[in-house]
Structure 1
Amino acid sequence: MSEENTTRIYTVNLAKAWDTPKYRRTDRVINIIKEFTRRHMQTNKVKIDQDLNRHIWSRGKKNPPRKIILRMIKEDDDTVVVSSFIEEKGSELSEESVEVEEPKMQEEKKVEKEPKMQEEKKVEKEPKDKSK
C-alpha cells in the first residue's frame, strides 16, 4: 500500500438538516457529514475532528451552519479523519488588521452623529383652534 494519505476538500450543503425537528438539527448535520464522507471516500470508518465538532455545535443544537468546507484525509488503515478547512484560512488573518478596522467604524459613527445633532431643529406646532 502507499504511504501517502489521500486528502480531499469538499463543500457540503447541510440544508437537509432543516427537514428534521429543530431540536435534532445539529445531530442530523453530524450524520449528514458522516454519510457524505462514507459515500465520497468509500469507507465506513469515519472520525470527526474535535475542532470541526466544536464549530458545528458552536451555535447550539437548533441552529447549525447551512454549509461547511471540509478536509477529508484517508489514512492507510482506511480511516477517514474529517476536519474543518475554514480554520486554516482564518488563522492567516493577523490580529492587527482586526484591530485597525474596529476603531475606523467607531470614528465614522461619531462623525455621522454630530452633524445630525446640529441640523436637527425643534419645530413647534401651534394647536389649531376648533372653537367655531
Structure 2
Amino acid sequence: MPTEPGRYVYVVPLARVYWGRRSNRADRAVRLLRRFVARHTKADRVVIDNEVNEYIWSRGREKPPRRVKVVVTVKEVEEEGEKVRVALVRLAGGKVKPGVYEAGKEAGKG
C-alpha cells in the first residue's frame, strides 16, 4: 500500500459469513467488510455508504452476496487536534479492476 492516502478497489470475499448460523449473516457481512477495509487501508474509522449496505442486505438477512466489489477512498482528517485516517467505502460499478487508482483519474481512462 502506498504511504499517501488514495483510492483503492477491492473485491471483498464475504463467503466466510456462511460458516455460521444463517439468522444474522448480513449483519456479520457488514462487520467483516468493515474489518477488511480497516486492515487493508490502516484506517482508524471506516464509513460504509448506504448503497453498499443495501446491496449486502438486498437478498435478505440470511443470504448476503458471496463477494462485493468496492471503491475505498482514504483521507486524513484532523479531529480534535489529531490526524485520523478515514476510509469511505462505496460500491464499485462498471468495469473497474482491483488495484490502486490515483485521486484525479477515473477508471477506464488513461
What is the TM-score normalised by the length of structure 1?
A: 0.61
Match of 1:12, SS?
strand
| In 2: Cα distance, 1:81 partner to 1:23 partner | 28
Q: Which has the higher contact order (CA 8 A, sep 6+)?
A: 2
**Structure 1 or 2: more strand by fraction:** 2
Q: What residue ranges of structure 1 are gaps of 5+ in the alignment?
A: 91-132
Report how far residue 44 of structure 1 moved: 2.3
Aligned length, in residue pairs: 85
Which residue in 2 is equivalent to 1:27? 27
Which residue in 1 is equivalent to 2:104? none
1:73-113 CA-partner distances (Å, limit 9, x unpaired): 00121110111103xx29xxxxxxxxxxxxxxxxxxxxxxx
Give aligned-pair identity as a percent: 28
Which residue in 1 is equivalent to 2:7? 7
Which residue in 2 is equivalent to 1:80? 87
Letter matched to residue 62 of structure 1? E
Q: Which has the larger radius of gyration?
A: 1
Correspondence list, 1:64-103, <5 A = 64-77=64-77, 78-86=85-93, 89=94
1:40-66 CA-partner distances (Å, limit 9, x unpaired): 000220010011111111110000000
In the alignment, is residue 58 of structure 1 matched against residue 58 of structure 2? yes
Match of 2:10, SS?
strand
Please tell me whether the aligned partners of residues 20 and 28 of structure 1 are also in contact (alpha carbons under 8 angstroms).
Answer: no
| In 2: Cα distance, 1:47 partner to 1:59 partner | 22
Letter matched to residue 71 of structure 1? V
Q: 1:20 to 1:44 in 2, by over 3 A?
A: farther
Q: Which runs of 4+ in 1 moved over 6 A?
A: none
- Superposition RMSD on alpha carbons, in Å? 1.6
